[in-house]
Amino acid sequence: MGKGASSSSPPPPLSESVMKKILLSYAYVAIWICLSFTVIVYNKYILDKKMYNWPFPISLTMIHMLFCSSLAFFLVRVLKLVEPVSMSRDLYVSSVLPIGALYSLSLWFSNSAYIYLSVSFIQMLKALMPVAVYSIGVLFKKESFKTQSMANMLSISFGVAIAAYGEARFDSWGVILQLSAVAFEATRLVLIQILLTSKGITLNPITSLYYVAPCCLVFLFVPWMIVEFPMLKQTSSFHFDYVIFGTNSLCAFALNLAVFLLVGKTSALTMNVAGVVKDWLLIAFSWSVIKDTVTPVNLVGYGLAFLGVAYYNHSKLQALKAKEAQKKPVQADEEAGRLLEEREGEGMGRKNDPQD
Per-residue pLDDT tens over the stretch 230-283: 998 887 666 788 999 999 999 999 988 888 777 666 666 677 778 888 888 899
Q: How many domains does the chain have?
A: 1
**Residue 304 pLDDT > 80:** yes
The reply to whether 75 falls in a domain is yes
Distance, in Å, from the CA atom of 282 to the CA atom of 11, rounded to the nearest integer, reads: 38
Domain that holds residue 31: 25-233+243-324
The reply to whether 10 falls in a domain is no
**Residue 352 pLDDT > 80:** no
The reply to whether 248 falls in a domain is yes
Looking at residue 300, its pLDDT comes to 94
**Which of the pair, 25 or 77, is modelled with greater confidence?**
77
Distance, in Å, from the CA atom of 113 to the CA atom of 48, rounded to the nearest integer, reads: 10
Supply the pTM of this predicted model: 0.81
Looking at residue 13, its pLDDT comes to 61
Average pLDDT, stretch 159-173? 92
**Residue 155 pLDDT > 60:** yes
Residue 286 contacts residue 105 (beta carbons within 8 Å): no
Looking at residue 292, its pLDDT comes to 87
From residue 234, give the alpha-carbon distance in Å to each of 41, 228, 231, 276. 27, 10, 5, 41
The reply to whether 333 falls in a domain is no
Name the pLDDT band for 59 (thresholds 50, 70, 90): very high
Residue 336 contacts residue 205 (beta carbons within 8 Å): no
Distance, in Å, from the CA atom of 139 to the CA atom of 169, rounded to the nearest integer, reads: 34
The reply to whether 341 falls in a domain is no
Nearest CA-CA partner of 49 in 127, 112, 125, 2: 112
The reply to whether 119 falls in a domain is yes
**What mean pLDDT value characterizes the chain?**
84
The reply to whether 3 falls in a domain is no
The reply to whether 350 falls in a domain is no
**Residue 320 pLDDT > 70:** yes
**Which of the pair, 301 or 272, is modelled with greater confidence?**
301
- Of 226-230, 276-280, 284-288, least confident by mean pLDDT is 276-280
